[in-house]
Structure 1
């Protein structure tokens, strides 16, 4: 039996083979942590009902039925822990200060923690769908596109999948309902309020990314709160538990078998009423063994270090995603993939300022943060090749959407010689224009004169000073 293969397939067995629309750090919280806690809950439950969960020492005069009764009543009521080197307090409230209230509820605690780790994913799935686009469907189509590309080379099916992906993203990022005026305002109270209130800011171009980072914040807060909530459940400072374990190991003292967090030997107080004497009862204090705490200590030790790992991974993941959405990072990410597909060759003869302005219009005016987020999720969950192809198709749609505007904005300028030549031609055309205007003005100012025999003679104002005036002989 392939044990390793079975373990790797466990998430698929529990959660199905559905595609992911998030990062590995998110799946570490809502998928693998939930699976781990569910398995621990099953293990603890089997131990509670499969073996003796508690065994108490009873006086010799107790019969077997009395012994079973003591075990049951000490399991139902909470026991308390007093170290062996300390004297048992006589006051009841001092005993109850060290009471153990958790061992009956460990399976329920683990299930509750599993729900806490899964809750942020529910928030992401429910709020992301309200945007008008299902990112999971797009990722699913991209995964099928990648598998078709590798396995069957079915070009028709590939084209249909790519058309679906590009069409869905294009309709979302170019939705006519998007609030253009609010988006163009860099800092305004209305823009901030719409961004904070997720339900109202669906058409600002940053709805998905706000929901995504809110979900990541919930994952981080959940990992921290889970550790401190165990302080309440266990009645101890559980947030220091892992540090104390490491300290003991580094000091060479080994494993803490007498842990005050999960004691194996506890005390139990109970009373036996006399049926015929209502005011009389016998009080007993017995010593009990909790074999279940042997497993609980190992489980919660692993949980403490696992939560720390989830917290650290989530922090680094948030930092990585925040840096990816710096404007320079977005610009370089899209530009590099367009250059890989050689789709920017149309701008070879144009100045860098125009090319950069056109790129920025595509990234920050067309895609916006939500579009870049979807492309990043496609890249992290499928492959960078699929993401590059999607960027290429979106670029073609954006490039061909308004060709007149594109041609009007273009100003070719290849080199300095061409610029100088164009300037000379412009100066020559200007000079010719001035000459033609001057000639027309000269014709317009000509003076008609009548001689004796009635012939008209034109006297030109500019040339009259250099040529004699011609007159008919009388």
Structure 2
């Protein structure tokens, strides 16, 4: 098991440069890691054994029967609840078969591929934002995340950063909206994946977590385990072959699916994880909408996050800039040394104040500074 997770170390490399929110990072780091790890686990026989083992007769080789039932899927019989329900040797397994009561178990061959595909979908918003962000934050930082450098070097780098922010003020809206779109895409993805898995399990996944909670709290004698209904551990398989006389023979085999013991744990975890992730992402989107339409909230957030910067400087900067600039300031503040960032914003505010003074009504042109 440890060998599997050692191979995933490259997926969890911690980047010291943050260009997104913590919730967004949960999508492309933790969730992708979980999905890829699960995909590898279900393909490893060392931990789950053979994916299928069928009870065979002498007339049919064991490997032939197992391969056939794995490829063509197995089935269970729908259980009836109530006092008149017929007894089952095992949930979903009984002798008499009515074709309309058959429930094919046809997903388990594709679990590892589905999990890997889900991991790709979760990484897609991150890939888009990484392409659109273009290394802007890293370029502007200029290694100022650590304030230990010579005063001359620090002064030069701060001047370059201030000059860029001054010359490109009010031109970052489209850049910020691209990131907000990626966050919205992440929300659409996690909701869509719930419906994707619901389709994968024939409409039994959306309420899966609620069913498990109800099962835990129900009476022991009357309850039916929803995990066994979706992930049966014993199923049936019908194999046809020609006998010695040339007539068709029907063989009804019982098959054990050890892999479903792992699958049920994986998907009950994913159900709760996706619900939590979806809720967090939804509130993040609401937070973004408030930021877009409320300059006062942008002022408040910068004040709360960067207390070293003077309040009047923050007020002036937010008033004279746009939402995209605010997002860039916030991301820079997350990465640049706090004292250096204070100096940058203070100097930017001073330049804005001087610019306002030069454009007082009544003057025919700008006053040239000595």
Q: Please, which of 32, 35, 51 is the counterpart of residue 34 of structure 1?
A: 32
Secondary structure of the residue aligned to 1:237 is coil
- Output the CA distance in 2 between the equivalents of 1:307 and 1:337: 29
Secondary structure of the residue aligned to 2:44 is helix
The structural deviation recorded for 1:275 is 8.7
- Paired residue for 1:284? 251
2:283 corresponds to 1:328? no
- Paired residue for 1:103? 108
Residues 191, 278 of structure 2: 8 Å contact kept: yes
- Please give the residue correspondences for 1:137-286 in structure 2 after superposition, counting only pairs within 5 Å: 137-138=138-139, 141=141, 144-147=143-146, 149=147, 152-173=148-169, 206-251=173-218, 253=220, 256=225, 259-273=228-242, 277=246, 280-286=247-253
Q: 1:52 to 1:344 in 2, by over 3 A?
A: closer
Q: Please, which of 308, 312, 328 is the counterpart of residue 374 of structure 1?
A: 328
The structural deviation recorded for 1:48 is 8.1
Structure 2 portions without partners, runs of 5+:
80-87, 364-370
The structural deviation recorded for 1:316 is 2.1
So what's the TM-score if we normalise by structure 1? Answer: 0.63
The structural deviation recorded for 1:210 is 2.2
Q: Matched residue pairs, number?
A: 344
Residues 34, 117 of structure 1: 8 Å contact kept: yes
The structural deviation recorded for 1:256 is 3.6
The structural deviation recorded for 1:298 is 0.6
The structural deviation recorded for 1:29 is 0.7
Q: Please, which of 75, 80, 99 is the counterpart of residue 75 of structure 2?
A: 80
- Please give the residue correspondences for 1:463-474 in structure 2 after superposition, counting only pairs within 5 Å: none
- Bigger relative CO (Cα 8 Å, ≥ 6 apart): 2
Structure 1 portions without partners, runs of 5+:
175-202, 346-354, 410-474
Q: Please, which of 125, 132, 136 is the counterpart of residue 127 of structure 1?
A: 132
- Output the CA distance in 1 between the equivalents of 2:71 and 2:53: 13
Secondary structure of the residue aligned to 1:45 is coil
Q: 1:33 to 1:67 in 2, by over 3 A?
A: same
- Paired residue for 1:13? 10
- Please give the residue correspondences for 1:291-302 in structure 2 after superposition, counting only pairs within 5 Å: 291-302=258-269
Residues 212, 227 of structure 2: 8 Å contact kept: no
